[in-house]
Amino acid sequence: MPYLRDVLGELGDGAMDLVFAPVCVSCDRPIPTTEKDRLVCRLCWVKCRTLPHPRCERCWAPVPAHEDPRPKCRTCGDWPQAVRAIRAAFVMGPEVKGICHALKYRGWEGAADPMAQRMSEMSWPRDVEDEVRLVVPVPTSAARLRERGYNQAALLATAFAKKMGWTASPDVLARTRQSKTQTALHPGERKANVARAFSVPAERAAELQGEHVMLVDDVWTTGATALACSQALLDAGARVVSVATFARVIPELER
């Protein structure tokens, strides 16, 4: 009903809400008209939890209170030096999952903006803030792009870059071959499944030279995908890669 929507739009959000009565994409309850965010209700946002302390300064993995992650963190200790910092706005949980699904599977492209807003509130080491200029999303497969019409990571990367004053460069990474869906695989299998699945087309390598690139995805699960993408960016000439996601799966914390 584009015409009705236009007419009502001129009457303001109140009239739109009478007809379209927005419900939260995560909990399906009506969103009170007093709330500014028309896609995710305030209660769901309140239930989204940030990553717990203490955590590794580099990768933000939770660290047991009695354990010092230096000099070698159990999670990131073996990663390439050029992978600098990993951040996620929230721990995966029911509300976070609902928001991710709305963006990824249910066509709620507008969710990218409030999600990127939360990502823009994360703190980074000083050198990351000083050096990053380019934001690159994890690419999706051509088949999934045809099916959904958009890459959720690219929407997040674009909105996140805008909020941070950086530049989104959506097509720098490409999938070189179809990897199987990661969902049903164990960590070791995930790593083998995505190794060498990504590359930078030759004509895009120039813009990466010497850059500290910010890689963006919706969810960090084992890190296999993000680390494979990071390696492809480094192989193509990037100097350093950091990674920002909306959610991070921490199995021991999932409710």
Binding interface with Zn ion (CB under 5 A):
24, 26-27, 41, 44, 56, 58-59, 61, 73, 75-76
Burial of 108 (0-12, 13-18, 19+ CB in 10 A): middle
Our CB check for Zn ion shows the closer of 17 and 162 to be 17
Distance in Å, CB of 62 to Zn ion, minimum: 10
Q: Give the nearest distance from C-beta 175 to Zn ion in angstroms.
A: 27
Of the candidates 251, 252, 233, which has an alpha carbon nearest to the alpha carbon of residue 243? 233
Residue 35 CB, shortest distance to Zn ion, in Å, is 10
Among 185, 245, 251, residue whose Cα is nearest residue 59: 245
Place of tokens 């996140």: 160
Nearer residue to Zn ion within complex by CB, 8 or 59: 59
Degrees (nearest 5) of the Cα angle 212, 218, 221?
95
Instruction: Give the whole-angstrom CA distance, residue 157 versus residue 214.
Output: 9
Q: Closest CB to Zn ion among 58 and 190? A: 58
Nearer to Zn ion, 95 or 218 (CB): 95
Min dist CB 195 to Zn ion, Å, is: 21
Q: Least distance to Zn ion from the beta carbon of 69, Å?
A: 6
Cβ nearer to Zn ion, comparing 30 with 201 = 30
Residue 221 tokens read as 């699960």
Is the Cβ–Cβ distance between 1 and 9 less than 8 Å? Answer: no
- Whole-angstrom distance between the N-terminal and C-terminal Cα of the chain? 40
